Amino acid sequence: MRSVFPLTILEECYYWEDLPAYPCSWFARLRFSGCLERTGLKTAVLSTLRRHPLLTANVQMVGKQLQWLIVDDFDPVIRWETGPIGGAFPPARQQDLQREMGIDFHVRTDTTASELTIQFHHACCDGTGGCQFISDLLRGYAATCGAPSPLELPPLDRDRLEGRPKFKIAPRQLAAGLWRTAKFVMRTPVPVIPHRVGLHDEAPPEGFPTVLCYTFDEETTARVQKRSQALAVTLNDLLATDLFLALATWRSNHNLEDGGWLRMMIPVNLRTIGDKHLPAANVLGGTHLDRRQPDFADAARLLRSVHEEMAFIKRWDLGRCFVALAEQCRRWPGLLERLIRTDKCRMSIMFSNVGKVLKRLPLPHHKGRVVAGNVTLEGIDFVGTLHPYLGVNAVVAWYANRLSLTLHYDQRALSKEQATDLFDIYRRRIQEG
């Protein structure tokens, strides 16, 4: 594996999206019963980071091209504190990839429990890559606690990082891709609530990230799954529709029915069987759903339209079109940065589904929960990135047969009371159907 190689187009997008006031980071908070052991965690972090080189790499400009510089000598900072579990997330910061690694660790413990919060720079990896890292980390930590040996880790091919494919549009996709791209460009979405965006602010607001979390019980989770099956739609279709309806109700309650387009961005995992041994990285595309206030009047019709549109996107493999078209911007130096760092709303809300996590992790399980040495992983909260004008980012995931929900909201746009109201409306829609 070479020590220097170019960023992919998506990594470059995330690099330019990183602003002091809007760190391009996502987060995972692991909640344990039992207290993490300092030396064991540090040993596991070091060994796991060696398997995933983009998480410790730096970015440098070589000529007019951004390049990864692989760093083999690194010393991750793990911050420790004592205090109550289950409160606010620890303060995040902008990670300067030119000078430091794109991953931070923060541990909070009390007498019987622990939380490990990991901040990932999005240019380094996506949610699937982050779950790879977390899986390896738990196995590494369990090994330091005397887990059965050998606890063999799955093989990874570091050389695949520099040979990742560029996503091109096939001729059969061209018409559909251009049609969706034209709608994306011609429509101007509105924020969930009008607010000021400080593109040039020197830091995010105090308390960033501001996150609301909820984990449904197993009975509710099973009921949601059965509901999607009975309606002949996917879980993604159902949860995305519920989010649209919750947002419409919330905006109506706050007299925000302005008739504008509400745009939901949805990341799309583009990994194939050939990426099985790829270390943590970004292999993502994306798509969008645009709806206006009249579209929310009939919930059944909205769900059917979302299902049909998502089926069309999957059938024509249009999740890769955004990446392929963004690649064309590289032909004009500086264009990609200008397009990304524009003072314009590009999306109203984001919805991500991390899927079922750690289900096949070869560690002991207790009531569906992973046991790693002296701790048991009780739950995971995944928190998405905020961009300018993106007021909220909703993420769902499945762990231990329970659906978890987080809402990362921009406190420059929504007060805690407003965000909690939206979160509760969405939670009740999922619970009650």
Give 266-269 contacts, CB < 8 A, sequence gap 24+: 266/236, 266/240, 266/350, 266/351, 266/352, 267/126, 267/127, 267/350, 267/352, 268/313, 268/319, 268/320, 269/126, 269/128
pLDDT computed for residue 352 by the predictor? 98
Cα 109 to chain centroid, rounded: 25
- CA angle 307-310-313, nearest 5°? 150
Summarize pLDDT for 253-299 with one digit per residue, the tens: 999 978 899 999 999 999 999 899 999 999 999 999 999 999 999 99
pTM for the predicted model, two decimal places = 0.96
Please enumerate in sequence order all residues whose Cβ is within 8 A of that of 34, keeping only pairs 6 or more positions apart, or say none: 112, 113, 114, 374, 375, 376
In sequence order, what are the residues at sequence separation of 6 or more whose Cβ sits closer than 8 angstroms to the Cβ of residue 105? 45, 76, 77, 78, 79, 116, 117, 118
Nearest to 32 by CA among 314, 351, 379, 311: 379
Give the residue-averaged pLDDT of 13-33.
Answer: 97
How far apart are the C-alpha atoms of 85 and 78, rounded to whole Å? 17
**Does the pLDDT value for residue 20 go beyond 80?**
yes
> In 187-262, which residue ranges form alpha helices assigned H by DSSP?
218-230, 235-253
**Alpha carbon of residue 136 to chain centroid:** 19
The label of the residue with tokens 């887990």 reads 147
How far apart (Å, rounded) are the C-alpha atoms in residues 421 and 239? Answer: 18
Q: Are strands 58-62 and 25-33 parallel, antiparallel or unpaired?
A: unpaired
Tokens describing residue 389 = 């004008």
pLDDT at 150 over 80: no
List the domains of the chain with CATH numbers.
Answer: 4-163+170-432 (3.30.559.30)
* pLDDT tens digits, 385-409: 999 999 999 999 999 999 999 999 9
pLDDT given at position 329 = 77
- pLDDT tens-digit series, residues 208-220: 999 999 999 999 9
* Alpha carbon distance 284, 125 (integer Å): 9
- The confidence band for 165, taking pLDDT boundaries of 50, 70 and 90, is low
